Structures are given as structure tokens and as C-alpha cells.
Amino acid sequence: MSNAPDAPPYPQSPELEEPSPLAYAEILTFQWCFGINKDIPVLNLSINSTKKIFYVASQIGVLYDFSSNKQQLLIGHRNNISCCCVSDNKRWLVTADSGPDCTIIVWDTISGLPNQTYFDVLNGGANAVAISFDSKYIATLSKDGPQIMSIWDWTSASDEPLCAVELKKEYDNQYFIRFNNRDASQLVSNSTTQVLFYDWNPQEGITCFDPELTERTFNSSREKLGYLTQSTFLLNSTQAITATTTGKLVLWDCKLNPANVNRDLMSRDNTNMTNKRDRSKGLNREETGASSITSTNRTLSSGTSVRSQTKNINEKEISDVSQKQDRIRKTLRNDNQQHSLMNKKALKLCEPQKKAITVLTTVDDLVITGDSDGIIRFFDQELKLRMWYQHFKLGPIKSISFTFTTTDYTPTETVDDKDLENETTLAQPKFITPDYIISSTTACIGHISSSGSKIQIIKRDSDSAIYALVTHPFESKLCFGNCNGRLQLWDYDVKQLITSAVATKVAVTSLQYNHNASCLAIGYRNGELQLCDPLSLESILRAPFKYARSSIEIIQFSNDSNYLATAEEDFTVSVYRQNLFSQEVYTFLGRYRAHYKQIRSMFFGLTLDDNLPRLITIGSDRVLSEFDLLESDFDNLILKTPQRVEQTCVPMCACWYPPGITKESFLLTANSEYKYKLFNSETKMCRKTTLGPTFGSPLRKIQVLPQTTNQNKHYLYFMTQDKVGLQRLPLTGNPYDQMAVIMHPNKVADVVSSFDGKYLFSSGGLDSTIHMLKVNTDVLDVQSNLGGADLIPFYKLLEGGREGDIFKEMQDLFYYSQLRYQGLDRFDRREVAPVIPLSEIPFVMRALGYYPTEQEIEEMLNEVKFSKYVDTNTYVEEIDLNDFIKLYINHRPAFGLNPSDLYQAFEVLGDNLNSKTCEPEITRENLLYLLQTFGEHMSEYELADCLCNLLNLQENIDDMNTADASEFVESRLPNKITLQSFMEELLKMPSQYVEQCLYTVLQLKRPITDGNDRSYERQKSIRSQQSESRASTTS
């Protein structure tokens, strides 16, 4: 008997439990998932008459009751779920992902809660997972090489596998694995070219057999044999079959004479691998006598036996094998292991069909195949065809999963014999099977009843990437389009599809409603612009606009829809003007290439004086451009003078700052250095800089969250590379005013909000899914209040906090700057004030280790100087310590000096490579030329002053003339400068930090591999030898 906990009785009509009160304590809560991962099998969780399935949407598992249209979301994975399986009784569900921080989770399908979780235990995550028929054991195949097959007893408290075996590289990437449905000690896996059979027990570990299957096996070429897809065991425990891409089935059988095997001993009751551990009801994690096991692993080939043995460190007995199992082991396992039932050979090659078999499974005494034509075939154990269904037409079959029927279940509805098909056998009895679920690679899911004649389409989702989505401006509707040109319109309140349409097969790249939702603008990858009816999704144009020459990335309407603008992939902007008395809805005004890099944001606004429309774009070229719409005419689009808004970092996104917060009109940008910046919309002057969210990657989109209830509170929603979050306004740099959740582990393509700000919707691009989040801004307010008032949140951003060395040094420097400002040579009584003049800010910043550019200094001074001008009409001339701390935290680099930035600078500016180290180096002449010619130019005096400060030299620069200063600089700089000498000799960085930087750079240049990895200590030794060599050469 299995030691897995018994499942509670299943209700006939399960109802979802009431949400936990903790669900209401989340700022962003997952509500619904649109779309599925079509590459992951769909599992049938139905029991008797229930209608429940499981599918994957990005990193979220979805329990979907298709009879009541309800979803229960299983949230726990950091990466996209890569594989899944379910127990025979539909109680236990196993999901696994691949990537950093990978996990394996066992879920209870009734409660939707995890019962067991394994953290970061596989190489790169799981490639395949299977669960035994008794629900006790889990088998996994790791993703990255060397590939490892592991067996887990998930009901135990141990977080280590019972046993594992490392697979050879020549086995290729094993991507499918399955237990024997009658014996949990036997498994089969396959890659596209190699089938592996496994025999295992906790004492002796795993024995792996790799029978030969080549062109010589059946005297057939690889083209005729095809590539392997899936494998399964037949009811006869000595036989197994493997499907191929050419419609063939390979029959395997053990090398012994099957007649010599006592088949009675191999019955299901006699071959259960059970432990005699005492367990209480449910899942008792406190196992007695449990310990981790490293098994003795063996890999046996069909010819020569190759054994890779490791010491069995089982210090405590974990399980006892029954007496009948012992007899089987004695009969079938001798010293050389060649008499195992898993030591198989390819016996026969069958060809039941011509098309590729994509799915191979069993139920009762039937063998079922699904092929690339969408046809389902049923065979008996002798592989004789009994029935097939070809009228489903869902596309290539991805999965077939059957309903579990309990022995005490009595159907409430009987199947009429007239609805049943006759078998293809001579007797031609009526053919009946349990209900089953099929899914296809076209993202369709269907439910087939036992009669097999009718199919119920459960879902027909997107089978390609989704990059464009938009919400209705005043109704609960969501529209999105995929890369196959398919549009879907949903009512997200009732979770019902309203309309689906395909106007063209070209990818949809952008969508936008006009201000009153009278039309929907659609941008395509080929540059076409279409205007459609918002409900039927049918075109309202005689022909689409074809003025753009590349993909349309952004579409925007003006506030009154009088203007329509598009931003294209080739850095151009196209503008259209509305026609009120013409058949053509809009007239094309012109195109303008206002940027030489990607356009990050484009939006309309209104002028302050007369509320006239204005169009603004911001690009990766650090330029803000504004178009003069009033003066523009047909084929004459006029661009105002562009403004450069950043010096070194890249603006990633922008939007209008809510007008209710300040009296001024501001543009808000977020840049690549994790900073928010506010620019006056008229003068384009930077008025404020604050620290933005630092959630792994810079912000890629920001928008104001609509508010319908409380107009006095304002929030932003944003997206990063893989996260979506909220930001509380006004901006202060307080880290407790922001939060984010992982939405799509690979990449978030876009995010939009509902018209009332209650929901956020995000698309994942290649994962073909859209997640719906419920927004609770009250919790964000509570989080901000709990973070502390005044400077308490900012102290936590300083190293060591308020009691740390940085804060104490800041206090000392703050008062020392007063002495410096008043004059260090004075001997009269000093007046110590709690403020310093604005002119001292740059000196204190540099003393703290932050070296701003001249433009950054100007922005800091302007921020403080004009901070109260609108309210009081006066300038601020001084700053106190509290405001200075905020200024320092908001302006300094978010993560300090990045070694990759240093290396990239040397890569770009370097003249050549060092002959010994092959590292880029810069000559002294070139470095001086760059410093004095590009960027913020430096004079000879400024260079000499910097060198004196860096090298701690006591030189009087004021007494030097230009020639003396130039000579001084050249005498203090080496002829050639490398990254290491620059950090050690000029920046005077600590040696430990230099070594860490160099090691980081080395990893950037040479990704770590299994065979070429060098430890950090080894790198230190090499660097030390290089330093000694240079020193000896110099002496």
C-alpha cells in the first residue's frame, strides 16, 4: 500500500472557499489569467462528474472549473513553470520551473495550497517531472547539463532526493519521463534519439539502461525512423513503447525470456514499493528516522556495463522491502544486473499511422495516441486499432488527460447507445472511454465526453506572443492582439469573451481607444494603421493607412481626438488630423524623424494658457522633442527646438505629472539610473530628482493610476523588466512609497490600468498570457506610514543607518563646510548654524564620495533654490541637514560604482590591447585629449587640481601657469593606463575592492562554464603574480 496521505472525499460540486483575510492585505493581488502556455500539457483534474482542469499561465498555475468559469491561481514560482504532472487520483499536483531560484512544488488540488516545496535543488531547474501511480514518489530530470535524474519521497521531511543518477552527455537532453503505472520502481525517459529505462530502490539506488536504437536496429534511416517523442509502459510490465515523429511505435521488451518471469509476482499489489514508517493522518512532516541518501548509481548499456558508483551514506534505515518484493529482487537482480526487467531491447517497429505522434499515454487497457493532424487513436495492448476520432480539428495534439472515476461513482446521466461509435474490431462492440481533456499547440482546450462524438471547446486562447493591449476608457472591457493578427475583446468583470476577429495575419504591435471610445486604433508590425469599430472590431476605413515604414510601437490620441499620432520602430513620428466633414476620418499631416534612437514615450497634453493640444516625445537619444501642431499642415509637420534632458543615463519612460499635486505643470521621467526626474513643461528645467524603484531593472513604463473615489490621492503604476508595481505620490524618494510583484519572469511587454484604477493588466509577450491584478492603494498607504515619518525611511538607505559612520561623517562635513565658507583663517568667534549655503553643496557631496558632474550640480542647486518659489515667490539660499540627507540619497548613484561601466568605458575609449594581459588600455595623450575635448571640458588647472586630490599631493596649483600645469599633469600620469592601474593608482581603491571588480569584469568577458571556471582565490593569485611581475620590471 502507498504511504501517501489519503485524500479526503471529493464533493460532487466543489465550491471555492472564501478568500483568506490575508488576501485583502496585499497591494496587488492576482485575480485572473488570460491565455495559456501552449507548450505545457493541460491536466484533467476532473473526478466523476466534476469539471476541472489545470494549465499554466507563465509562472502561475491555474485550477480552472470550466463548469462555473472560476479560476484558482497557484502562485509560488519565481520562473515560468516548465513542467507539471498530476497523480492518478487527481489529488496531488506537481509543478516545477527552470531558472534561478527554481522550485518544485507539490500542491493539494482541493485546497490549492502547497504541501511540499523543494528550493533550488536541480541544475537550472526541472526539464520533466513525473509522479508514481501511488502518489508517493516524484521523478525529475534536471534542465542543465550534466543532466541528473532524481527520485524524491515528497511525503517525507527530507529536502534531499532518495537517490539520483547523473546521465551521460551522449544521451542528449532527456525531456520526457514516466513511471510504470504498475510498479513505482520502474521508469522510462527519452530524448529525441535515446530511450533510457530505470530500475531503482532506496538501498541500491538507480540503475540506468540505455538500449540501442540506431539506424542499424531496424535497418532504417533516421528520416524513416523519425525522432522520439514520448514513451510509456504497457500493462505487461516487461514491455514498453516509444512514439516517433514519423508515426511509428518502437516496442521494447526485456532481454530475458519473458516466459521465465513469474508474472504473478509482478502484479500491482505485489510490486508497490512501500515504507513501513508510521504516519499520522494527513501530511506528517516529522518523520522518524529520516535521513538523506546518496545512492549507488549505475548506468548499464545494452552491450558493456558501465558503472558509476558512489558510497551509500544511508545511516538509518528508511524503508523495508516486503517479502514478495525481496523474492523479485533475488530473481531478477544478480551481480551483473543484466537480469533486470529494465534491461530492454528494441523488439519491433510498428507503423500505425503516417503523421507524427505527439502524445502517447494509457488508460485502463487502452493505448492512446495524438498526432500532428489532431487525430486521437485508441489501441489495445497488442497495438491493434480500436477507435479513432478525427473531427476535433484543434490542431496538433499537445496533451490527453482522462477523468478519474471512483469505484463507488454512479453516473447521473447514462450514455445513449446511439451516441456511441462501434469499434474497428470484428466484433464491433460499442466503444466507450472515460471523459478526457485534449489540448493543442494552437492553444485550444477541448472536453470530450465518453461517447467521443461531441467536443466542448473550453478555451481558445492566443497561440502567439501578445504585445499589445488596451482597456476601454469608461467600461470594463479589455482588448488585446497577438502576433498572428488576432484581436480579442473581453469583459473582465464577468470574464467572458465578447468578440474575436482576425483582419490580417500581421502581428498587432499597439492598440489605443480614442477619448470617447468611438473607434479603436490598431498598429501593425508592417506599419499599417487601422481604425476599427470598438465592439465588432471591423474596420471603419476604406483602406488602412500605410504611411509608416516600420512597426508602429505607440499610438496616442489627443484629449479631444482631434489629433492622432504614432511612433514607429525607425524612430519616426506620424501625425494625423481629424476630418469632421469628410469620408476619411483622419488626414495624414506628415512624418518626422525627431530622434536617432528608440522613442521611449509619446503623449499629448494641453498648453497652460489656452488648453491647445501639444505632442511630446522622449527617446533613448536623451532628447525631448515637441511638435508645433497648430502650425503644422498637410505634409508639413513642424518640430520645435529639441531639448537634451539627460547627460549620461538614458530616459526610459515619461508621462505627465498629476496637476493636482503642484501648481506647476511637470513632465515626469524615469531613467536608466533608477531616478525619477521632474521637468517644467514650459522651460524644460529639471526641478526635482528622486530615487525611484530599484527592483532589479530600470522602469520601462510609468502612468498615472486613474482615481474615481479619492481625488486627493495620486499614484503611479509602472513596469520593469519582469515586475509591475505602484508608486505613491508625491515623489520623495521614500522606499516605502513603492512596491512591485513579479508578473512575467521573462519580460513584461506592456501594462495598462482599468478606467477606474481598480485593476492592472499586463502582457507577457512570448508567454502569450495576460495577468489581471486587483489594486488596493490603502495597503500601500499603510505600508508608507509603517515605514516611518520624516527621515526615518531615509536613514535606512544610509550604510549603517543613523548610527553608522556615513551619517556621523555627514554631520561633521556639514558643520565643517560652515567653517570653510566663513574662512578657515579666522580667529574670531564662529556662528554655528543648522544650515549651509547652497554653494557648499557640491563640496560636501564630493567629500562624501559622490562626484557629480557640473550639470548634476546645477540640477541639485536648482532643485533647492526653486523648491518654494511657486508658493512664496522667493528663492531658497540655504539648506539644513535633514534636507541635505534627502538630497544626497536621491541624487547619488543608486548602486555605487559599477565595474561593468568602468570596463565598458575602457572598451570604448581604449587605443589598443595590452600585449601581455590582452586588456584594453588608454594612452596618456588620448586620455588628456578626451578629458579636454569631449563632455564637460576640463582645463589644465582643473586636471592638475583633480590629480592633486586623487594622489594626495601637496602642490600649489594657483602658482602654476598653463604650461606648468600641463607638465605637472603629464608627469603624474603613466604612459599607458589599464583598468587595473586606473583603479589602483588613480582612484586609490582598496585592493580588495579592486580584486572584486576585476573578477566581475572577468565574468562578464568569460561566462562561467563547468570546465573553465576559476575560483576567486585563483584569480587573486594570478593578479598578485602580475603585480609582482610589474614591480620587478619597474625596479
Q: Is the pLDDT of residue 884 over 70?
A: yes
Confidence of residue 264 (pLDDT cuts 50, 70, 90): very low
Specify the pLDDT at position 419.
61
DSSP string, 405-440: --TT---SSPPPGGGSEEPSSSS-PEE----EEEEE
Q: What are phi and psi of 933, to 5 degrees?
A: -115, -45
Name which of 517, 523, 577 is nearest 545 in CA terms.
523
- The model's confidence at residue 258, banded by pLDDT at 50, 70 and 90, is low
Phi, psi of 47 (to 5 degrees): -125, 120
Q: Over the stretch 267-288, which tens digit does the pLDDT of each residue have?
A: 334 333 333 333 333 333 333 3
Residue 1006's CB is within 10 A of a number of other CB atoms, namely 11
Residues 853/880, Cβ–Cβ less than 8 Å: no
Whole-number Cα distances in Å, 905 to 331, 622, 672, 992:
70, 19, 17, 21
Those residues with Cβ within 8 angstroms of residue 29's Cβ, 6 or more apart along the chain or in another chain: 23, 773, 774, 776
Q: Give Cα separations from 497 to 430, 535, 887 (angstroms).
A: 37, 12, 50
Report cis status (omega within 30 of 0) of the bond before 434: no
pLDDT of residue 856: 94
Q: Pick 596 or 304 by higher pLDDT.
A: 596
Peptide bond into 899 cis (omega under 30): no
Q: So what's the pLDDT on residue 414?
A: 64
Residue range 899-919: average pLDDT? 80
Q: Measured at the alpha carbon of residue 504, what is the angle toward residues 503 and 510, in degrees to the nearest 5?
A: 85
433: phi then psi, degrees, rounded to nearest 5? -135, 165
Q: How many CB atoms lie within 10 A of CB 777?
A: 19
Q: Which residues contact 534 (CB under 8 A, 6 or more apart)?
A: 472, 513, 517, 518, 519, 520
Phi-psi sector, 360: left (phi>0), alpha (psi -120 to 50), beta: beta
pLDDT digits (tens, 9 = 90+) for 488-537: 999 999 999 999 999 899 999 999 999 999 999 999 999 999 999 999 99
- β-strand 529-532 against 520-524: which pairing, if any? antiparallel
Least confident of 10-24, 115-129, 890-904: 10-24
pLDDT per position as a tens digit, 963-996: 888 888 888 888 888 888 888 888 777 777 788 8
The mean predicted confidence, pLDDT, of the chain is 84
The SS3 of residue 776 is coil
pLDDT digits (tens, 9 = 90+) for 48-96: 989 999 999 999 999 999 999 999 999 999 999 999 999 999 999 999 9
| Cβ(456)–Cβ(446) below 8 Å | yes
Cα 131 from Cα 140, distance rounded (Å): 9
Confidence of residue 929 (pLDDT cuts 50, 70, 90): confident
Domain ranges of the chain: 121-275+289-351, 792-891, 899-1034
Q: Residue 260 contacts by C-beta under 8 Å, 6 or more apart in sequence?
A: none
What mean pLDDT comes out for the span 714-722?
96
Give residue 418's pLDDT.
63
Can you count the helices (H) and strands (E) in the chain?
16, 65
- Tell which wins on pLDDT, 315 or 755: 755
Would you call 728 helix, strand, or coil by DSSP?
Answer: strand
The conformation of residue 22, written as its DSSP 8-state character, comes to G
- Using CA atoms, how far apart are residues 286 and 202, in angstroms rounded to an integer? 20
Q: What amino acid is encoded at 528 in this protein?
A: E
Report how far Cα 937 is from the mean position of its chain's Cα atoms. 43
| The CATH classification of domain 792-891, taken from the options 1.10.238.10, 3.30.70.20, 1.10.3720.10, 3.20.20.105 | 1.10.238.10
Of 75-79, 180-184, 858-862, 1008-1012, least confident by mean pLDDT is 1008-1012
The grid cell for 337 is 544486473
Burial of 589 (0-12, 13-18, 19+ CB in 10 A): buried
- Which of 698-712, 782-796, 802-816, 933-947 has the least mean pLDDT? 933-947
% helix / strand / coil in the chain, to the nearest 5? 20, 35, 45
Q: Is the pLDDT of residue 782 over 70?
A: yes
First to last CA, the chain: 80
Return the percentage of the chain with pLDDT > 90, whole number.
Answer: 59
Strands 486-491 and 715-719: unpaired
Average pLDDT over residues 639-667: 93
Other Cβ atoms less than 10 A from the Cβ of 918: the count is 8
Quick: pLDDT tens for 310-324: 333 333 333 443 444
Cα dihedral 695/699/702/708 (nearest 10): -10
pLDDT reading at 329 higher than 70: no
Q: Tell the burial category of 64 from Cβ atoms under 10 Å away from its Cβ (0-12, 13-18, 19+).
A: buried
Provide the 3-class DSSP secondary structure of residue 121. Answer: coil
Helices 899-909 and 924-933, axial angle in degrees (round to 10): 100
C-alpha cell at 261: 518471469
DSSP letter at 543 equals S
Report d(CA 926, CA 976) in Å as an integer.
10
CA distance 798 to 882: 13
In the structure grid, which three cell numbers stand for residue 301, read together?
548499456
Cα–Cα distance, 471 to 279 (Å, whole number): 53
Q: Of 139, 117, 144, 114, nearest to 128 (Cα)?
A: 139
Over 90: is that where the pLDDT of 7 sits?
no
Q: What pLDDT score does 422 carry?
A: 65
User: Residue 173: which residues within 8 A CB-CB, separation 6 or more?
Assistant: 127, 147, 191, 192
Which SS3 state, helix, strand or coil, does residue 663 take? Answer: coil
Q: Are strands 205-210 and 298-301 parallel, antiparallel or unpaired?
A: parallel
Q: Give residue 395's Cα distance to chain centre.
A: 28
Question: CA-CA distance, 521 to 567, in Å (whole number)?
Answer: 13
What is the CB neighbour count within 10 angstroms for residue 924? 15
Which DSSP state fits 382? T
Measured distance CA(124)–CA(976) in Å, rounded: 42
Least confident of 663-667, 734-738, 932-936: 932-936
More confident call, 740 vs 315: 740
Rounded-to-integer distance, Cα 629 and Cα 471, Å: 27
**Above 50 in pLDDT, residue 306?**
no
User: For the residues 461-475, what does the mean pLDDT come to?
Assistant: 96
Grid coordinates of 678: 521632474
Q: Nearest Cα to 814, choosing from 895, 888, 876, 893?
A: 888
Q: What is the torsion angle, in degrees rounded to the nearest 10, for the CA atoms of residue 51, residue 82, residue 160 and residue 171?
A: 120
Q: What DSSP character marks residue 404? A: B
pTM (2 d.p.): 0.85
The rounded distance, in Å, linking the Cα atoms of 556 and 546 is 17
Q: pLDDT of 410-432, one tens digit each?
A: 776 666 666 666 666 666 677 88
Q: Which of 708-717, 787-796, 1022-1031 has the lowest mean pLDDT?
A: 1022-1031
Q: Which of 641, 651, 657 is nearest to 599 (CA)?
A: 651
Judged against a pLDDT cut of 90, whether residue 484 lies above it is answered with yes
- 360, amino acid identity: L
Taking the CA atoms of 287, 290, 294 and 295 in sequence, report the sign of the dihedral they define: negative
Rounded CA-CA distance 998/903 in Å is: 9
- The count of C-alpha atoms lying within 13 angstroms of the C-alpha of 458, restricted to the half-sphere facing its C-beta, is 28
Which whole-number Å values give the CA distances from 960 to 172, 657, 945, 967, 969, in the listed order?
Answer: 71, 50, 11, 10, 12
C-alpha cell at 1: 500500500
pLDDT of residue 301: 43
Cell of 934: 569631449
CB neighbours of residue 927 within 10 Å: 18
pLDDT at residue 913, rounded to an integer: 78
Of 857, 851, 813, 855, nearest to 950 by C-alpha is 851
Q: Which of 388, 450, 448 is nearest to 413 (CA)?
A: 450
* Residue 327, phi then psi, degrees to nearest 5: -65, -40
Assess whether pLDDT exceeds 90 at residue 141.
Answer: yes
Question: Quick one: pLDDT band at residue 694, thresholds 50, 70, 90?
Answer: very high
Most confident of 159-163, 337-341, 828-832: 159-163
